[in-house]
Structure 1
Amino acid sequence: MFRDRLDAAERLAHELETVKGQNPLILAIPRGGVPMGRYLADALEGELDVVLVRKVGAPGNPEFAIGAVSEDGSVHLDEAAARLCSDDWLASEITRQRELIKTRRSHYTPIRPPIDPAGRIVVVVDDGSATGATMAAALATLRQRNPQRLIAALGVGSRDALAHLKTLADDVVCLAAPSHFQAVGQFFDDFAQVRDEDVLDLLPP
């Protein structure tokens, strides 16, 4: 469906053309969303930063999200969480993800605070979403900080995820919503892992 993340970003930029010139704040979800965010910020004449959320994966299957943790410490859990793991395991995993978020923020933007989204057109971008948990946590957290307009931008997403995200964002721009969805990577010819070093190269100092 896409050659790579840049291909998806180019197509998203076309769909988001109406916000060009309004200094949108592009908030990328690391790590896969950051190359796309860099392209969108340049194409739409906006600012780039990261929004830090961490998926809480199911025990024994970490790629299957049962919730997510936001940078403000809030936790967003799916109904499946109570069935799939114990309270002790979940508490330990949430603590671990919160610490990882703190580490990432100090690593990615060590000399400046996160850019304030208040009053801004905010575009939250990721390469794709299978369950919607990570994007949903980002949107819920950002909504509390009073953006002028909150947009979710995705290369590809499952139909269930997109239905949920539409309740949290003012607009959801997603290039594809296939009926058979297993993993985001299946829709990219090149889905190479994005390294922390790549993120640092793409973010403003």
Structure 2
Amino acid sequence: MSLFENREDAARQLSKALSTYMGMQPLVLAIPRGGVPLGRIIADDLGGELDVVLVRKLGAPFNPEFAVGAIGESGKIFVADYALKAGADTAYLAAEVDKQLATIRRRRAQYAAVAPPVSARGRTVIIVDDGLATGATMCSALAEIRSCQPDQLICAAPVASAEAAARVRRECDRFVCLSVAADFQGVGQFYRDFAQVSDEEAVALLGRS
């Protein structure tokens, strides 16, 4: 059964859960691409500023949607403890890292053309994604931004698996999640409409301040 009509519905509900940050001019960092529509709405609702945090999942061999780790823009790599069991040996991970870093660099060039990167130092930062399956990408994003010395670091997601929630809670100052699901097959199962977000849509949303 779907919890959310679409990303806009999820974002509106998440904004209410984050209302304590209204008036604090939070920096909302969305994880592209699926997190960007949520980030735009949440930043607008809270009177905050929107930017992206560029991280990419390291997909498992033969199952790229299953994250065995993640990498951030700075080159910080998070590798899950189950990666080798999933078939991701050292050589595979090295190739996957190169592939995902290339995507990160391409996206930074696209996004910087409409919105220069915003510093997280000393800010109340809310990192947003449309859902957390393994938590690997969010953990990587939190590590990236923690090194920038924010004042507060909040993770926000409409839905998460129990495993992802447990993993992510340890990496942030506050974890805001509308539903932690025990029976978790994929993020899309919790949305009636889970259409893919294109690069063009993400760029347009980011540039609309």
Normalising TM by the smaller chain, what interval?
A: over 0.9
Quote the offset at 1:79 in angstroms: 1.4
Q: 1:38 aligned to 24, 29, 40, which one?
A: 40
Size of the alignment, in residue pairs? Answer: 205
TM-score w.r.t. the length of structure 1 is 0.97
Query: Deviation of residue 112 (structure 1)?
Result: 5.4
Question: Share of identical aligned residues, percent?
Answer: 50
User: Could you say which residue in structure 2 is the equivalent of 1:124?
Assistant: 127
The Cα shift of 1:81 comes to 1.8
Instruction: Tell me the alpha carbon deviations over residues 44-83 of structure 1, each in whole angstroms, 9 at most, x when there is no partner.
Output: 0000001000000000000110000001111100112233
Whether contact under 8 Å (2:27, 2:51) holds in the other structure is: yes
Unmatched runs of 5 consecutive residues or more in structure 2: none
Check the 8 A contact 1:131/1:158 in 2, yes or no. Answer: yes
Instruction: Output the CA distance in 2 between the equivalents of 1:113 and 1:38.
Output: 16
Root-mean-square deviation over aligned CA pairs: 1.1
Deviation at 1:170, TM superposition (A): 0.4
Q: What stretches of structure 1 move > 6 A for 4+ residues in a row? A: none
Matched, 1:140 2:143: yes
Structure 1 residues 91-130: aligned runs within 5 Å: 91-110=94-113, 113-130=116-133
- In structure 1, what is the equivalent of residue 200 of structure 2? 197
TM-score, scaled relative to structure 2: 0.95
Bigger mean CA offset, 94-103 vs 111-120 = 111-120
CA distances 1:73-130 after superposition (whole Å, capped 9, x unpaired): 1110011223312322211110111111011000111265410000000000000011
Q: Does the 8 Å CA contact 1:70/1:141 hold for their aligned counterparts?
A: yes
Structure 1 counterpart of 2:184: 181
Q: Give the corresponding residue for 1:163.
A: 166
